Each structure stands twice: as structure tokens, then as C-alpha cells.
A and B are shown apart, each in its own frame.
Chain A
Amino acid sequence: MSLRTAIAGRMHVFDGLRTVLARASPLRSGDVLAGVAAEDEQERMAARIVLADVPLARFLGEALVPYEDDEVTRLIIDGHDSAAFAPVSHLTVGELREWLLQADGDALTAVAAGLTPEMVAAVSKLMRNQELIQVASRRRVTTAFRNTLGLPGHMSTRLQPNHPTDSIAGIAASMIDGLMYGSGDAVIGINPAGDSLSSVIDMLVMLDEFRQRYDVPTQSCVLTHVTNTLRAIERGAPVDLVFQSIAGTQAANESFGVSLALLDEAHDAGKSLRRGNVGQNLMYFETGQGSALSASAHHGMDQQTCEARAYAVARRYQPLLVNTVVGFIGPEYLYDGKQIIRAGLEDHFCAKLLGLPMGCDICYTNHAEADQDDMDTLLTLLGVAGVNFIMGVPGADDVMLNYQSTSFHDALYVRDVLGLKAAPEFQAWLDAMGIRNDQRLPDDGGRHRLLDDAKRWIAHD
């Protein structure tokens, strides 16, 4: 089938799926920087018209990065489940959009292993924001370690108590503050400022001692490179979740210092510890549009398609948590609030369709054309879309990574307006601890034994 169409007498011809996908993508600065974006709005629409008529089966025969060159391509092709694909195997991309709009949660769950990242990236390019939200909201993905995440009517938070110099006491102070607002059911996860193994182990020990002292039904993580986590495990450190940043091509993953073989090894090491008591999902992945181009490893693909391919890597490991760090990368990839919001919805939709427990670090940097209002918009939209978890950062200001994410208060807001709850096991713990965040009650935070203990406990440092 030739990839061509005419609009107003102008013929548009595309030389392959990779080009059609890139030209069909909504405008974003990273695709312009890469030189793969549509030249103008009419070319963008021409690409979408062509894309709508592409049979899904074509994606199985036309790899965007050659099979021989790229282990992510091999993972996608070799892992494709043709039985799951059967209900949609005869459809075009445009027909898949209409099928999705009418599918219920069971049908979406059943088809997941039959869909490839390229198929879901393609269909997302034909969908408006409301459609990305609606379809994703019907697809619940539930995972478990020490609690159950992703249940309908629930939205969890990663408590992110970062400190600019990895001060254990400073991290603990932010952590206690977050728990007062009911944050931390997805994970208490620290981004370390340094890579030193001893400091990583100090943080893991502090988190684990705290969790055991108060019997908190949650999991902890220090978001260091997977090789560091492997060394920590070798030294007997209490590792709950194994973290790694991943991307959608082999070359981009190499720039992160990882391969599928290394991730396999890390996953096995994590499983061998048998620390989960509710479930065994233990990998935690972060992704984000633009990372492949940033590593000059995008192979001419647009950044959203690259991003979706990272989800093939993630789903190999049945992770507990995956989140896109959508606005962190900067304005050369996502220029403003509009581009960040669109990308956040696309990433959540694509990951959910592929069966991942998707969360989002709803965020921006100060050199992007975005502000708190844009974050409120994306937060509300993702809450409606059924996002599994968001970040909880004190006052939305990450004082180590120098960017703005969502605050403890932001999570209370979205839980309030949408009637969402924390993970059930964690909520029961909050209730037992007397931590209430019902907005109609006076602020009783700080009047219970956690705070009473805090000072003595923080003397740890």
C-alpha cells in the first residue's frame, strides 16, 4: 500500500511508517529539533489521513528500527501474542480508534498483549485529549507489593522526600511531612543527589527501619542506577523496589547503561529477596518523551513513538510502578504547557493500553513556558483518566532536582474533587495512626504519635 494522499490539490507522499508516524504527531519542539515533524498543519493532517488507513498487521512486518540491530524491536516482535491480537487483527489504525472508543475494560485487558507500542502510538495520534482520557479510564491495571495499587476509585502517590545533599535527617523530615498528608502509598522513593553506594545503603536502611517501626504498608526505593542497586542487594541492603530509567531503543538504553540482560538480572535479584507480602511486582521504571533523541538514539522516529516503545521494555518485568517524567526534559522537547499536557495524556493512554500500571510525574522546569495552572490542568485530566499514581513533593518544589512536580496538597485536591482514595491497606494504616485529611475537618495533622516520635527518631543522623 502506498502512503500518500492529496489535500487541496497538494500531494503528500510518505516513505514509510516511521515517517507517517512522525508527521502525524501533534506539534512538539523535540520533533522539530529532530527534523522529523510535519512541515505544516496540512502535512500533519495528510499524515493522519494516511495513517488511519494503515492496516495494523503492517506494523508487524515493517519494523521502525531493524530487528537485527535493536533488542527492543526483537522484544516487541518476538513477544507479540497473535491470539490476543485476533479481535483487532483485521483493523486499520483508524478502525482501531473506533474499536477502542467502544471497548469495555475486559476487552481492553484481553487485547493488550496483541498490541505493539507502534500500534498504540499510531492510534493515539488520531485521538483527541478527551478520547485518550476516556479509553484509558476504562483500563485499570492493578499491581501489588505490600499494598494494592491501581484499584478503581483509588489514586496513589509516590512520596519524594529528596534533599540537595542526601541528608538522612532532611529526607526523614520531608517524609514525615508527606505522611501527615497521606502521601506515600505507591512508594517512598528518594532520588539521591550522589551515586555513592554507602550513601544509597544509608538511605535504604533509614527507610526500612522507619517502615518497620511504624508497620507502614508501603514500599521504599532509592532511585539509583540498577547496577548500584545490584551492589546494594549483594551487600544485604533492604531493597524493596528495583528502579531504572528506560527508553525505547537499544542505543538509548545503552546511553543509560542498561540492557535487557542487565534488567533481567536485576529483576531476578529483587525477586530473590521475597520482600513483598501482598504481591510480587517489584520493578519501578521511569520514562519520558525526548530521552532517545537526547541520546542521539531515536533512529528517525518521533519522540512519542520512541516513548511507547519503552513500555515494551517495562512490561517484560510486570512492574509495580511506571511513570513518565513528562515535563522534566525541558522546552527543546516539550515547549509549553500545551505540549506537556498532551504528552502526559498520550503516555498514560499508551502505557495503559499496553497493560502497564502507569503513573505520571506531572512536572515542568522553569525554562519551559508552563506554570502551576498547567500542572493543575494535567493533574485533573489524569485523575479523570485513572492515573495509578502521581508524585508528592513538599510544596511542589523539588529542592534537589530543581523542578516543580505535584505537592502533597495537590494529591489531596484531586482525591477530594474526584472522590479517589489511597491504596486500601495504606488507608487503613492512616486511619489507625489518626492521620485525617478530610478537608471539612480542622487540620489535625501533627497531633499524633508519628510527630511526637519524629524528633527523637530523626536524631538518627
Chain B
Amino acid sequence: MTDRTITRLWQELRELTPARIGTGRVGTSVSTADSLAFGVDHARARDAVHLPFDTQHLADVLAERGQHALIVRSAASDRREYLLRPDLGRHLDDAGRQYLESKARSCDVVFVIADGLSALATEHALPLLDVLRPRLAGLAVGPTVLATQARVALGDEVGHLLQAKLVVVLIGERPGLSSSDSMAAYLTYGPRVGRTDAERNCVSNIRPAGLGYASAAATLGYLITQSLARGISGIALKDDSDAPPGLPGA
């Protein structure tokens, strides 16, 4: 094979996977360019973990659209405590609890936008909600809650206090090198403190380069409708939105 043939073949193999293949080697290591590229990706992922979630900005954007947002914090006081104490990230601080109690008004579904492990990922929340809302016609959607230093289970307390039948937490996932802005949606019917992960449905890897907004909205719209109609979520509620009619469980 000529050098050009080899180069072209590696390019074709690289198109089959996002993995870092076909880089060759310099001695036993990688080229300076590849070493620096890895460093940039790691820096992006690290910064995503520590980027503060600008809840006020997001609330202003929502207000411009005529939507009301409620800003709360978890019991974890800062990022270090959040990382070391997952239990604190699952509960509201006292101020947040009292605030939401004062706002309680029963509704079908409440959306929580939470930083989780990547505040960068919250950029995908509004574009997703824009395409999702038309699928929720007829449902009573409560105010949007913006939560910092939050874990998924924080939504249980939020949903319970706001008397929502269903809570959907849109939260930044653990950043990988090739996906520092990946967002997940966790759906929990009958939210209250103590719900387990088995009682939730998860739609993961929401970002333009992963699961796009339209696809994520289609899946979420189906799960939300089904969850409210059947009064369940979690392993009992499967995403059969692609299944052919008449073949349950196929």
C-alpha cells in the first residue's frame, strides 16, 4: 500500500467511531498536536464541571417569553461540597423549601432545569422545551424551577412541594472528553422524597451532536403522556414509541 492509500483507509475507519483511532505514534507516545487536542478536551470537561449555573440569566430569558421561573439551591453550599456529598445535592436548602411551599399550586408536570455535573448542558434546556411544549397541549404545566448544586433526586422534593403529578429534571450529565455539554432528562411520576432510580425514566445524551432536540422531545412527549395517563414511571413504563402497534413488548 502507498502512504496515500493508508491515510485514506485510516480516514475511512475514523468515520466509523468517535474514538481516537489512527493517530499513529511518536516514539511510544502521541504527536504534540494530539496531546494538545486531548488537553483542550479535558480542559473543556473540567471547566464544564466547575462552570457556575447562571440561573438569573435563564430566568430573565424565560420572563421575556412570558414564563415564570423559580430559583432554588440544594443543601450543598458550594461545588466542592456538592461533589463530596451527593446526599446534600438531593435536598433543597431551607430557603428553597419555604419558597416552593409558598408557590404550591397543583399541576400536571413541572420542569426542573438543574446544573448537575455540567452547567454547560443547561444551554440545551430551553431549545428542548421549545419543541416539547407543543406536544403537551392540554396539560397544566407548572412554573419552571432552576436549581443549582442539584442532583436528580432534588426533583422529588421540588415536585412534591409544587404538588405536581410528574416532575421532569433536565440536568447536566457527567462530562466526557467528547461531550462536555450532554444533558439528560429524568421523569418521575408522583414525586416525593425517597423515590428510587428504578422509579424514573431517563433520556440521555441530549445535545445537537448526540440525541437531537426533536428526537428527545418526541421520546419525552410520549413518556410524559403515557406516564400521566397510566400513573406510573420507571421500569414499569417502557419507551415503546418506536414499537409497531399491536406488538407490545416486541
Contacts and interface: CB of A to CB of B under 8 A. Distances in A.
B12 A455 contact: yes
A32 B25 CA distance: 42
Nearest to B26: A443
10 contacts: A331-B83, A335-B83, A394-B19, A399-B176, A399-B178, A412-B28, A413-B29, A439-B25, A446-B1, A454-B9
Nearest to B37: A395
Contact of B13 (A173, A366, A371): A173
Contact of B23 (A395, A452, A455): A395
A429 interface: no
Contacts of A173: 13-14, 16-17, 19, 21
Greatest chain B CB density within 10 A among A32, A394, A454 is at A394
B49 A367 contact: yes
A424 interface: no
B113 to A, nearest CB: 19
Contacts of A398: 176
B176 A402 contact: yes
Given A332-B83, A394-B23, 15 more contacts: A164-B18, A173-B13, A173-B14, A174-B19, A174-B21, A332-B86, A335-B84, A372-B38, A395-B19, A399-B178, A402-B175, A402-B176, A447-B1, A447-B6, A454-B13
A394 B20 contact: yes
Interface in B23-75: 23-25, 27-30, 34, 38, 41-42, 45-46, 48-49
B97 interface: no
B234 to A, nearest CB: 16
A458 B16 contact: yes
| 8 smallest beta-carbon distances between A and B, as pairs | A395-B20, A402-B176, A170-B17, A412-B28, A177-B21, A366-B45, A394-B19, A173-B13
Nearest to B176: A402
B192 interface: no
A270 B176 CA distance: 35
B85 interface: yes
Given A174-B19, A439-B28, A446-B6, A366 B1 contact: no
B85 A332 contact: yes
Contacts of B42: 366, 371-372, 404
Contacts of B144: none
B99 interface: no
Greatest chain B CB density within 10 A among A173, A335, A403, A413 is at A173
Contacts of A454: 9, 13
Contact of A367 (B14, B17, B117, B182): B117
Interface string A370-405: 011000000000000000000001111111001110
Nearest to A169: B16
Interface residues of B, number: 45
Contact of B34 (A395, A399, A452): A395
Nearest to B10: A446
Contacts of B85: 33, 332
Given A367-B174, A402-B176, A412 B46 contact: no
A170 B16 contact: yes
Greatest chain A CB density within 10 A among B16, B23, B38, B117 is at B16
B219 interface: no
Contact of A332 (B9, B17, B46, B84): B84
A416 B28 contact: yes
A451 interface: yes
Contacts of A372: 38, 42
A176 interface: yes
B13 A177 contact: yes
Nearest to A452: B1
B212 interface: no
Given A335-B84, A399-B18, A402-B179, A445 B24 contact: yes
B235 interface: no
A161 interface: yes
A437 B42 CA distance: 27
Contacts of A403: 176
Contacts of B179: 402
Contact of A399 (B10, B17, B87, B180): B17
A293 B4 CA distance: 54
Nearest to B19: A394
Nearest to A401: B176
A405 to B, nearest CB: 11
Nearest to A177: B21
A114 B177 CA distance: 45
B38 A413 contact: no
Nearest to B9: A455
A413 B17 contact: no
B49 A366 contact: yes
B174 A167 contact: no
Given A167-B17, A443-B24, A397 B84 contact: no
Interface in A310-342: 330-332, 335
Interface in A389-445: 393-399, 402-404, 407, 409, 412-413, 416, 437, 439, 443, 445
B22 interface: yes
A365 interface: yes
Greatest chain B CB density within 10 A among A162, A169, A398, A446 is at A446
A412 B87 CA distance: 41
Contact of A366 (B16, B84, B175): B175
A163 B19 contact: yes
A394 B21 contact: yes
A199 interface: no
Nearest to B34: A395
Interface in A344-375: 365-367, 371-372
Nearest to A29: B84
A181 interface: yes
Interface in A40-93: none
Contact of B27 (A174, A393, A404, A439): A439
